[in-house]
Amino acid sequence: MATIAIYSLKGGVGKTTLAVNLAWAAATLSSRRTLLWDLDPQAASSFLLPTKRGKADAQSVFTKEIEPSKLARATAIARLDVIAADASLRGLDLLFHELDKKKRLQKLLASLDKDYDRVILDCPPGLTETSEQVIRAADLIVVPVIPSPLAQRAFDDMAASLGKAKVLPVHVMVDRRRRLHSDAVAAHPDWPVIPMASIVEQMGDRRAAVGQFGGSSAAARAFAALWQTIEKRLAR
């Protein structure tokens, strides 16, 4: 099993869009038994991949002897399950601090090893106790980067602390008609690129990954290519 975290220092950069589309690609294009674990209390991934919901107990797995697999719910997509987020995760940072168990998430993920081939973590933004748990537990950290000097600076600082071998930057919301975007992409030709596209914005209305309703689009091809890059990184 490999764990891929989708992480950013700030929100609004397409983090959940990446998480949902990569989870779909893992399950559908690679036929991997895939779990999308939504750790963000905003629960956007949980909304985009609807499942049968239980009570609001997303935080309980961290405090009680409950196996994460007990919270996993099947989606309409073959081989793709979700552990949904809810408002209880708003106190997760404080909980991790009080527990003082630096590898709590890593231990919980290890219990899923026989059930899944790939686990995608949709992480809350920012440098928090939760993000530190994620960084320790993940095999690869995918970081969405908007093509701008400030976003580039924030990524450089983060990559310096995490180590480049564990981090995969991805240019997102790219509009090549903009000189700033074009120059940023040209400066990092080895970074995967996800274009800005109206079909991506339709995910909220359709509650589905782009590949489910726009498989021939440039955006769907970009997500598929990104997943292939991730699989190659994991195979090293």
Q: Per-residue pLDDT tens for 188-214? A: 999 999 999 999 999 999 999 999 999
Q: What is the CATH number of the domain that holds 180?
A: 3.40.50.300
Give the residue numbers spanning the domain of 197. Answer: 2-235
CA distance 180 to 184: 6
Q: Per-residue pLDDT tens for 119-153? A: 999 999 888 889 889 989 999 999 999 998 888 88
pLDDT bracket for residue 51 (50, 70, 90): confident
Laid out side by side, the sheet with 193-195 consists of: 73-74, 80-83, 34-38, 118-122, 2-6, 140-145, 167-174, 193-195
* Residue found under tokens 């700030």: 10
Q: Could you tell me the pTM of the whole model?
A: 0.94
Residue 204, C-beta contacts closer than 8 angstroms, at least 6 positions apart: 47, 48
Which helix (DSSP H) or strand (DSSP E) does residue 120 occupy?
Answer: strand 118-122
Q: Are 144 and 6 in contact (CB under 8 A)?
A: yes
Count: domains in the chain: 1
